[in-house]
């Protein structure tokens, strides 16, 4: 994580395997929008070693169904205030409108969860 990162938005969601290519195309476009509006980084990660736990796990958290894969993704910012400014711009960007409805989303938005986090330990570059 870059030293200037002081705030992180993370989100987790299930994507049908047959829609992964579509999701990656949309995520690439959305990531460009986030970056244009000031996000430091935008990263989308597809699970490939996410076992189902006995109590909780990534698959359980999104009620993963057969034929789906879980994504963990994040964007980084200079501060929470910076994140709030970026998110306001992103949500008002007309390009986002076509991705913000159930008909065009290639995943079940009701099983997505997200949150903002303040890093408390950051090692590396």
Which CATH number goes with the domain that contains 54? Answer: 3.30.70.100
The pLDDT value given to residue 125: 62
DSSP structural state of residue 64: P
Provide the residue range defining the domain that includes 65: 7-102
- What pLDDT does residue 48 have? 95
pLDDT value of residue 110: 86
Please check whether residue 112 lies inside any domain of the structure: no
Which H or E element spans position 35?
A: helix 20-36
Cα–Cα distance for residue pair 70/112, rounded to 1 Å:
10
Q: Specify the pLDDT at position 2.
A: 53
19 domain-assigned: yes
In a domain, 117, yes or no: no
> Which contiguous run of DSSP H or E holds residue 8?
strand 7-16
The verdict on residue 107 lying in a domain is no
- Which class for 29: exposed (0-12), middle (13-18), buried (19 or more C-beta within 10 A)? middle
Model pTM score = 0.88
Domain count, the chain: 1
Low-confidence residues of the chain: pLDDT under 70 = 1-3, 125
Q: What is the pLDDT of residue 57?
A: 93
């Amino acid at each position: 994580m870059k030293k200037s990162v002081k705030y992180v938005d993370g989100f987790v969601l299930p994507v049908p395997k047959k829609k992964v290519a579509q999701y990656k195309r949309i995520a690439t476009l959305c990531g460009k929008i986030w970056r244009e509006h000031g996000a430091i980084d935008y990263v989308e990660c597809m699970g490939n070693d996410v076992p189902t736990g006995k109590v909780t796990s990534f698959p359980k958290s999104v009620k993963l169904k057969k034929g789906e894969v879980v994504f963990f993704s994040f964007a980084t910012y200079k501060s929470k205030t910076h994140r709030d400014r970026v998110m306001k711009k992103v949500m008002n960007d007309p390009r986002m409108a076509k991705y913000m409805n159930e008909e065009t989303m290639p995943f079940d938005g009701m099983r997505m969860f997200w949150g903002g986090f303040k890093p408390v330990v950051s090692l590396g570059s």
